[in-house]
Amino acid sequence: MFESLSEKLGRALKSLAGQSRLTEKNIEEALREVRMALLEADVHVQVARAFLQRVKEKALGVEVLQGLNPTQQFIDIVHQELTAIMGGVAPEQPLDFASRPPTVVMMVGLQGSGKTTTCGKLAKYLKKNGRSPLLVPADVYRPAAIEQLHVVAKDAGVPSYRTEERRPVEICKAAVAEAGLKGWDVVILDTAGRLHLDEVLMDELAAIKAACGPTEIIFVADAMTGQDAVRSAGAFHEKLGSTGVVLTKADGDTRGGAAFSIKHITGTPIKFVGAGEKLDDFERFHPDRMAQRILGMGDVLTLIEHAKDRIDEKDAERMAQRLIKNQFTLDDMRSQFQQIQKLGSMQKILGMLPGMGKMKDQLETVVTDKRVKHLEAILNSMTPKERQNHNLLDGKRKRRIAAGSGRPVHEVNQLLKQYLQMKKMMSQMNNPSFMKRMQAMSN
């Protein structure tokens, strides 16, 4: 989402390199470039102005800290202010829950913003976090939207509310009552959206709010619509008192301006970001981590959370045991590739690693999703026996595997070489003298 902003900020910050201290003049120069970078990223003018003002004040006021050069100091300030303008450090819990269940979460937004999909993503997220959500279709004007929500609910493995009732307020009220009876502790209302904001829609939403007393009213904003998303988020907040925003389609070709501006302009925080059509393409929005990503400092914490969610711990443990016993086979290598793919696209993973922002383009030609898929195809073309014992792979079998996977023979050879290297490295790690050396180094 922020690739281009990130790259341009990097360039602006470089202009400070080689300076011995922060002065009004070199700060001004750097800020001019930062300003251009922000505006090109479609950041709201008012937000850019406030941000630059704060960075300038802080940069001029800093004591020269021992051990930090001017660029580092400036980056530190920019990081702090980026975090602050996007909402500060996120609270421990993204949502508030009612003291007496069920908690009602009302999802609002314009048609096509990704509201129904987001309802499913949120339900799945809550379920993973020990809640039992109920999805409620309240967009009675589009029968397809109701059916879509039932499908999404099934996909997320959560119940959805079915009724013959056609009045949105009545549907929501009855669903909340039923949730109370059945012990579903969060009710997610998928309300109607229109192409444009209008009074009729607002009145309907206000009536649902009055009838159901939601703890959270979440506006779903399409990041691709840039400043329009910011304006509608503001309008909905003014009329309904929304409590937060989910920014969708952050995977698309968006410059990130909305993510940057929404909190400052509307006063409501971005709580989650949707970055894909699948229900798992959903993560919490952490301004400080996002600021790190923008500055090319990576986001290892989010990467670890991703891994925790998607990788089976028992599998990982089993693999570790096999490594310790030096039994690493091609089968294990295959399951490693499968695990890697579960983390998401290579582009996404690389983007979260510190310092990789700038090198991403070069690296992507080496570690592409396609390449991982090719390697997996080669492994899949082997027989289970061969994956257990690579010595069975002679020239004839390698040619068959190449033909079976549609890859050239040299790629099969390359994969085997890589496997043997990994195996060798692992056996070295198991060697007691190697472990001693490592311990000595860390002491």
Report, in Å, the least distance between residue 120 CB and ligand GDP. 8
Angstrom distance (rounded) from CA 279 to CA 432: 45
- How many helices (H) and strands (E) the chain has is answered by 21, 7
- State yes or no: 110 annotated in a binding site: yes
Q: Compute how many other C-beta atoms are within 10 angstroms of the C-beta atom of residue 15.
A: 16
**Pair 221, 109: CB distance under 8 Å:** yes
When the beta carbons of 102 and 114 are compared against ligand GDP, the nearer one is 114
Report, in Å, the least distance between residue 273 CB and ligand GDP. 8
Q: Which amino acid is at 282?
A: F
Q: Which residues of 353-372 are buried (b: 16+ CB within 10 A; e: fewer)?
A: eeebbeebeeebeeeebeeb
- State yes or no: 213 annotated in a binding site: no
- State yes or no: 192 annotated in a binding site: yes
Q: Which amino acid is at 77?
A: I
Who contacts 179 (Cβ-Cβ below 8 Å, separation ≥6)? 101, 102, 134, 185, 187
- State yes or no: 111 annotated in a binding site: yes
Report, in Å, the least distance between residue 250 CB and ligand GDP. 6
- State yes or no: 257 annotated in a binding site: no
When the beta carbons of 281 and 332 are compared against ligand GDP, the nearer one is 281
When the beta carbons of 276 and 357 are compared against ligand GDP, the nearer one is 276
Q: What is the 3-state secondary structure (H, E, C) of 122-161?
A: HHHHHHHCCCCEEEEEECCCCHHHHHHHHHHHHHHCCCEC
- State yes or no: 109 annotated in a binding site: yes
Instruction: Enter the tokens of residue 140.
Output: 């009675």
Angstrom distance (rounded) from CA 237 to CA 264: 13
Report, in Å, the least distance between residue 131 CB and ligand GDP. 21
Instruction: Enter the tokens of residue 312.
Output: 């089976």
When the beta carbons of 111 and 338 are compared against ligand GDP, the nearer one is 111
Contact footprint for ligand GDP (CB under 6 A): 109, 111-117, 193, 248-249, 251-252, 274-277, 281
When the beta carbons of 31 and 275 are compared against ligand GDP, the nearer one is 275
- State yes or no: 267 annotated in a binding site: no
When the beta carbons of 117 and 292 are compared against ligand GDP, the nearer one is 117
355: left (phi over 0), alpha (psi -120 to 50) or beta: left
Instruction: Enter the tokens of residue 49.
Output: 């102005």
Report, in Å, the least distance between residue 225 CB and ligand GDP. 12
When the beta carbons of 216 and 251 are compared against ligand GDP, the nearer one is 251
Report, in Å, the least distance between residue 152 CB and ligand GDP. 8
- State yes or no: 234 annotated in a binding site: no
**Pair 273, 2: CB distance under 8 Å:** no
- State yes or no: 325 annotated in a binding site: no
Report, in Å, the least distance between residue 436 CB and ligand GDP. 50
Residues annotated in the binding site for GTP, as ranges? 109-116, 190-194, 248-251
